[in-house]
Amino acid sequence: MIGWRVERVSASAAEVHGLELPEAVTRVARVVEIDTAALVLGSAQPDTDVDRSAADRLGIEVVHRRSGGGAVLLEPGATVWIDVEIGRDDPLWDDDVGRAALWLGRVWVDSLAAVGVDDGIVHRGPMERPSLGSVVCFAGLASGEVTVGTAKVVGISQRRTRGGARFQCAVPLRWDRDRHVELLAPGLARVGVDLDLETIVVGSGRELTDAFLDRLP
């Protein structure tokens, strides 16, 4: 782990997604603990995908991120969220957006294996976005993201500026299908697809976070 600054923050999803990349980006690994449950929509995802009455009843904040894809449900203690930042002069940088996160996916595969989740594969092909992927992030697949069997285990979104890139990584520690269906019923009706995803139970978030930080190049 050469040259990485580790930050640990406790904040709302809206606050973290609102952080700007500095002009001079350096190596940062930011471990995020959210203090409020949030449903984070992709930048182009319509607000009408969400049942607002259900979100209000469940006390779940609805926010938008600046990257694309479908919604991610974040609840305290239920997701490992780590933001990774590198500058354009970093040896890990790749000008090709399709290759840019491959190194990060390999780190996640090694980290998952360290906590007993084997057979992770880094997706290297073009983006796969079935209709359900426009509603739920973990139904789609982008380059650098990690699968185990048919289950997507690590989601990675990317923001790039003239100074560098921020990769926002999410690993669900549990998956509540019923809650997703309740919150995203309008979106699921829009695409006309049932929410049927294979999931993997990763286990300890702290152990996975430590394994990831230890394996950063």
Segment 164-181, tens digit of pLDDT: 999 999 999 988 999 999
Q: What is the mean pLDDT of the chain?
A: 95
Cα–Cα distance, 185 to 51 (Å, whole number) = 7
How large is the average pLDDT for residues 120-138? 94
Q: Is the pLDDT of residue 2 over 80?
A: no
CB contact at 8 A, 155 and 42: no
CB contact at 8 A, 111 and 217: no
Task: Identify any residues that bridge with 124 across adjacent strands, giving them in sequence order.
Answer: none
Residue from 70, 52, 69 nearest 61 by CA: 52
Task: Give tens-digit pLDDT for 52-93.
Answer: 999 999 999 999 998 889 999 999 999 999 999 999 999 999
Residue from 35, 57, 74 nearest 176 by CA: 74
Q: What is the residue type of 118?
A: D
Cα–Cα distance, 49 to 29 (Å, whole number) = 32
CB contact at 8 A, 155 and 145: yes
- pLDDT at 1 (0 to 100): 62
Number of H helices, E strands in the chain: 6, 10
- pLDDT at 196 (0 to 100): 87
Q: What are the chain's domains?
A: 5-215 (3.30.930.10)
